[in-house]
Amino acid sequence: MISPVLVLLVSFLCHSVTAGRTCPKPQEVPFSTVIPLKMSYEVGEQIVYICKPGYVSRGGMRRFTCPLTGMWPINTLKCQPRVCPFAGILENGAVHYTTFEYPNSVNFTCNKGFYLNGSASAKCMDDGRWSHPLPVCSPITCPPPSIPNFATLKLYTSLVENISFYQETAILDCLPHYAMFGNDTIRCTEHGNWTELPECREVRCPFPTRPDNGFVNYPASHALFYKDKATYGCHETYVLDGPEVVECEKFGTWSASPTCKASCKIPVKKATVLYKGEKVNIQDKFKNGILHGEIISFFCKDKERKCSYTEDAQCINGNFEIPNCFKEHSSWAFWKTDAADKQPC
């Protein structure tokens, strides 16, 4: 029989042995938790380190028992972040990252001409997987362009596959009689659509009016349209002022309105003049006058310096002014020297 007194004594002695021999709060290991976590532990009590979500232990003990010495053993446990699997390469794009470890994110961008199919960023989650599937950079394409009314496709290279890539162009044309407003060249944009389409509008020009002393020819038609042409001419002795052929332009007007200009009579009976760099007799060369626009140089005398110089006169629509310095000889004044024969000044 064991007396109750002995039991009491033994338990007292045991208590004295272990008294003060408790383990302190255990050492902290980064990214881990201790279970249970207390300020002190009895000898024989167990603790376990658990890596926090997103971290895994790499070597080292996880489980400890408070020893009789009251000192926890040295803990070499390391909790390290999980690494999400990824080669780090995005074809036709770029990956922006620091590491592929929990809890970091990576960002994705695509090169010009490619668009991001998928999420622009992904986070490495605590289970070691990405929050979003990795994206791909797909080429930007445009569907065949829609053709504006009264237009045709003049140049379109992707007829076979029916797609165009970023920056590819197509060229539009308007049907006859229609003028283009806008750019004939359209381009596949980064949005996968085409730049603004031009517009084709019907353009009519009024019938040209016949010039005085001349005529105009144009297509025999009930109306005249964009790019139609009219041809002008003048009656004899008249000269066309303007181009012979005019065109109906996109704002419904003709490119020019030529007129017929009259030739000039020359009120001089006899003189030597310069015409196109040559000395000619006015009475022979210009019996029928001169045409509008033509220039004749008259010789004038510089009496003091006893020499001659020239002054120009031009036929302007029937008007011809003889230079003031020019003096016409009477035909019987044969002893006078013609200005044209004098020394040039």
Contacts to ligand NAG by CB under 6 A: 96-98, 105, 107, 117, 121, 136, 138, 161-162, 183, 185, 187, 191, 193, 195-196
Q: How far is the CB of 117 from ligand NAG (least distance, A)?
A: 4
Q: How far is the CB of 102 from ligand NAG (least distance, A)?
A: 14
CA distances 159 to 51, 58, 117, 136, Å, are 60, 60, 25, 26
Q: How far is the CB of 104 from ligand NAG (least distance, A)?
A: 7
Q: How far is the CB of 206 from ligand NAG (least distance, A)?
A: 28
Question: Which residue number, 115 or 299, has a Cβ lying nearer to ligand NAG?
Answer: 115
Question: Which residue number, 66 or 174, has a Cβ lying nearer to ligand NAG?
Answer: 174
HEC string for the chain? CCCHHHHHHHHHHHHHHHCCCCEECCCCCCCEEEECCCCEECCCCEEEEEECCCEEECCCCCEEECCCCCCCCCCCCCEEECECCCCCCCCCEEEECCCCECCCEEEEEECCCEEEECCCEEEECCCCCECCCCCEEEECEECCCCCCCCEEEEEECCCCCCCEECCCEEEEEECCEEEEECCCEEEECCCCCECCCCEEEECEECCCCCCCCEEEECCCCCCEEECCEEEEEECCCEEEECCCEEEECCCCCECCCCEEEECECCCCCCCEEEECCEEEEHHHHCCCCECCCCEEEEEEEECCCCEEEEEEEECECCECCCCCCCCCCCCCCCCCCCHHHCCEC
Question: Which residue number, 121 or 231, has a Cβ lying nearer to ligand NAG?
Answer: 121
Question: Which residue number, 137 or 262, has a Cβ lying nearer to ligand NAG?
Answer: 137
Q: How far is the CB of 229 from ligand NAG (least distance, A)?
A: 24
Question: Which residue number, 137 or 260, has a Cβ lying nearer to ligand NAG?
Answer: 137
Question: Which residue number, 33 or 105, has a Cβ lying nearer to ligand NAG?
Answer: 105
Question: Which residue number, 54 or 198, has a Cβ lying nearer to ligand NAG?
Answer: 198
Q: How far is the CB of 307 from ligand NAG (least distance, A)?
A: 58
Q: How far is the CB of 300 from ligand NAG (least distance, A)?
A: 54
